[in-house]
Amino acid sequence: AQSVTQPDIHITVSEGASLELRCNYSYGATPYLFWYVQSPGQGLQLLLKYFSGDTLVQGIKGFEAEFKRSQSSFNLRKPSVHWSDAAEYFCAVVDNNNDMRFGAGTRLTVKP
């Protein structure tokens, strides 16, 4: 079955520092991949998605992600983190049944 793994449960970075959140997927074909952000008690906001084409995907709020088939990865990056970026980040994959399945999430803390 298709699945997505986020190996980092919690990451702390200083404001202004760069950020990379890891995501690995298990899928036989080219997957549909997504990154969402969730603030406490809130719904999900889509940051970016990958279906096909250019493997470097630009999203909202200055985020980008790169699809690397050889590494089965879709890591999320941001060059300079802002305090408002503190939240929970979820990587997701759409499986053969068009069901979206989520990784465990990575909680981002931003230090002043």
Partner 1 sequence: GAVVSQHPSRVICKSGTSVKIECRSLDFQATTMFWYRQFPKQSLMLMATSNEGSKATYEQGVEKDKFLINHASLTLSTLTVTSAHPEDSSFYICSANELYGYTFGSGTRLTVV
Q: Which is nearer to partner 1, 54 or 70 (CB)?
A: 54
H/E element holding 11? strand 10-14
For partner 1, the closer of residues 31 and 103 by Cβ is 103
63 binds partner 1 (CB under 8 A): no
CB of 89 to partner 1, least distance (A): 11
Q: Which tokens in the block code for residue 95?
A: 């499986």
| Out of 34, 63, 67, 74, the residue judged to bind partner 1 by CB under 8 A | 34
Which residue in the set 28, 29, 43, 70 belongs to the binding site for partner 1 (CB under 8 A)?
A: 43
CB atoms within 10 A of CB 21: 23
List all residues 6 or more positions away from 42 whose beta carbon is below 8 Å from its beta carbon. Answer: none
In the list 5, 11, 13, 49, the residue contacting partner 1 (rule: CB under 8 A) is 49
Closest approach of partner 1 to the CB of residue 80, in Å? 27
Q: How distant, in Å, are the alpha carbons of 61, 84, 88 from that of 56?
A: 15, 24, 22
Residues sharing a CB contact under 8 Å with residue 54, sequence separation 6 or more, in sequence order:
none
Binding site for partner 1 (CB under 8 A): 34, 36, 41-44, 46, 49, 90, 94, 97-105, 107
